[in-house]
Copies of this chain bind each other. A is one copy, B any other.
């Protein structure tokens, strides 16, 4: 194979990087920490966007757009937020360049210094709540259910394609409500939307839960999260939904007159997923041959490769293929017929395996005679020869099977790599030996959480929503605990 990947066993990190580059998903750019998302990678992101956007709209949300820049002073208005967000960020200080006196290129014009610096948004709570102030007077103006698709910048020192980049693409929902109950319900609803998207579309099982106080979003009263387990035994936080209480309403003085005529502060939520999901998708299913994409998010769902020696064979195959291709397209399936004469079938097989195309059809002269076609599925790499007649229905079914199978496989992997542990030494040992998720008792204190993180690099990923009440003792301090929490090392 021309584009061989490092195997996962050899180096998982290198395998990931190879795969992102060689499958043409993304690459590093000339700008520190910023990536270029290449067409094939962007096509997957577009599919994700479309599905998520439809889900947001189905739950009553609308899109809007707010400025890229945030006045520096806005960050200082919410005390916790400034600590969490305003530090490592891109700062715009000037608004003009001028020709360099030495005639070589351009320099920053010192006369064009901004009175107040602007921050390139790392997240938009502050600029949005400053705007909502003018949108909200009465309970009749509530709720506001707005989402924004945007780019954001956080000056990360160590970056990895999709997983952690200085600039990334995301959506950020920002909602305003009349009551605490309604805002909490919204926080939960959107976490549910994320979980449904992860499981039904990305075929990636997730644990839903609450973050501990240490791990909360800067300015939130509660942060809910979906956590997925990658094939190297590390957790990846894949989406978060925050109940912000009245913190931003107080910081930006956003009040409303309630039904009884009293003035109250507005209740807020925010929630987001980003291009980081691309990393999660890649790492959840792919193998040493390349990407494995769930059919529901694959830009090309079916590729058809003709096997021929003479051009008249290609012509015959093309004619037959056109019929099935049209039928598949009519069923909403994206099909590519690769009749590029410059590449051999073997090269094409490897290429589409690398790119994770779920189903590959190969048709040669003998198939034409026999009325058959070779069908290969990417997830299991199994091949079978099927009658060409009625192949459309077989493919529809196969795409469903693949979607379900890769979810099942990821689910089984997670089940096998979720360990219940009661002893801290065993926890440390298994963390190194096996990795994965650990369900353990914890005394609820930030000190214990910090100690565990310090000693093991494992963090509490969440307090799972579905964790049953169970009396136990903290594995470190022996203090009482009423439910197990989810530990893992994480991306």
Which B-chain residue is minimally distant from A72 (CB atoms)? B106
Residue among A89, A90, A93 with max Cβ neighbours from chain B (10 Å): A90
Any B CB within 8 A of the CB of A310: no
Q: Is A309 an interface residue (CB 8 A)?
A: no
Q: How far is the CA of A120 from the CA of B93 in the complex (A)?
A: 12
- Fill in one digit per residue for A72-89: 1 if any B CB lies within 8 Å of its CB, else 0: 111110000010001111
Chain A positions 147-202 with a Cβ under 8 Å from a chain B Cβ: 150-151, 153, 155, 167, 169
- Taking a contact as CB atoms under 8 Å apart, the answer to whether B65 and A37 are in contact is yes
- Closest B residue by C-beta to A62: B39
Return chain B residues, CB-CB under 8 Å to A86. Answer: 97, 106
A369 close to chain B: CB less than 8 A? no
Q: How far is the CB of A405 from chain B (nearest CB, A)?
A: 29
Asked if A31 is an interface residue, CB under 8 A from chain B, the answer is yes
Chain A residues with a Cβ closer than 8 Å to the other chain, count: 63
Q: Is A342 located at the chain interface by the 8 A CB criterion? A: yes
A373 at the interface (CB under 8 A from B): no
Contacts of A93 in B (CB 8 A): 91-94, 108
Chain B residue numbers with a CB within 8 Å of A95 are 88-91, 155
Check: A36 CB closer than 8 A to any chain B CB.
Answer: yes
Which single member of B34, B89, B119, B150 contacts A69 (CB below 8 Å)? B34
Task: Name the distance in Å between A422's Cβ and chain B's nearest Cβ.
Answer: 42
**How distant is the Cα of A322 from the Cα of B411 in the complex, in angstroms?**
42
Q: Is the CB of B66 within 8 A of A36?
A: yes
- Bound Cα distance A46, B49 (Å): 13
Is B36 touching A65 in the complex (CB atoms < 8 A)?
yes
Taking the closest CB of chain B, its distance from the CB of A276, in whole angstroms, is: 14
From B27, B30, B42, B70, give the contact of A62 (CB < 8 A): B42
Whether B69 pairs with A167 at a CB distance below 8 angstroms is yes
Interface residues of A in 128-158 (CB under 8 A from B): 130-131, 134, 140, 146, 150-151, 153, 155
Measured between beta carbons, the chain B residues less than 8 angstroms from A96 are 87-89, 91, 155
State whether A64 and B38 are in contact (beta carbons under 8 Å apart), knowing that A29-B131, A31-B71, A155-B96 are contacts in the complex: yes
Given the known interface contacts A92-B120, A131-B36, the answer about A65 and B106 at a Cβ–Cβ threshold of 8 Å is no
**Residues of B close to A71: CB separation below 8 A:** 30-31
Select which of B30, B37, B153 is within 8 A of A127 by beta carbon.
B30
A97 close to B92 (CB less than 8 A) = no
Contacts A87-B98, A117-B108, A130-B30 given; does A64 touch B36 at CB 8 Å: yes
Tell whether A397 is near chain B: CB-to-CB under 8 Å.
no
Contact B82 A89 (CB under 8 A): no
In the complex, A118 has a CB within 8 A of chain B: yes
* A88→B97 CA distance, assembly (Å): 7
Of the candidates B120, B127, B131, B140, the one whose C-beta lies within 8 Å of that of A68 is: B120
User: Chain B residues with Cβ under 8 A from A67's Cβ?
Assistant: 29-31, 34-36, 167
How far, in angstroms, from A70 to B68 measured CA to CA in the complex? 16
Task: Note all chain B residues with C-beta closer than 8 A to A88.
Answer: 95-96
Interface readout for A94-110 with B: 1 if CB under 8 Å, 0 if not?
11111000001110100
A69 to chain B: which residues have CB within 8 Å?
Answer: 31, 34, 90, 167
A-B contact pairs, 22 of them (CB 8 A): A29-B67, A31-B67, A31-B69, A34-B68, A34-B69, A36-B66, A39-B62, A42-B65, A46-B63, A68-B167, A73-B105, A75-B97, A82-B105, A88-B95, A89-B96, A89-B97, A91-B93, A93-B93, A95-B155, A108-B117, A120-B120, A150-B151
| Additional pairs, 10, CB under 8 Å, beyond known A30-B127, A82-B105 | A31-B118, A36-B67, A39-B146, A42-B63, A68-B151, A69-B90, A72-B106, A72-B108, A93-B93, A151-B151
- The 7 A-B pairs of least Cβ separation, nearest first, read A76-B105, A34-B67, A39-B62, A37-B65, A91-B94, A31-B67, A95-B155
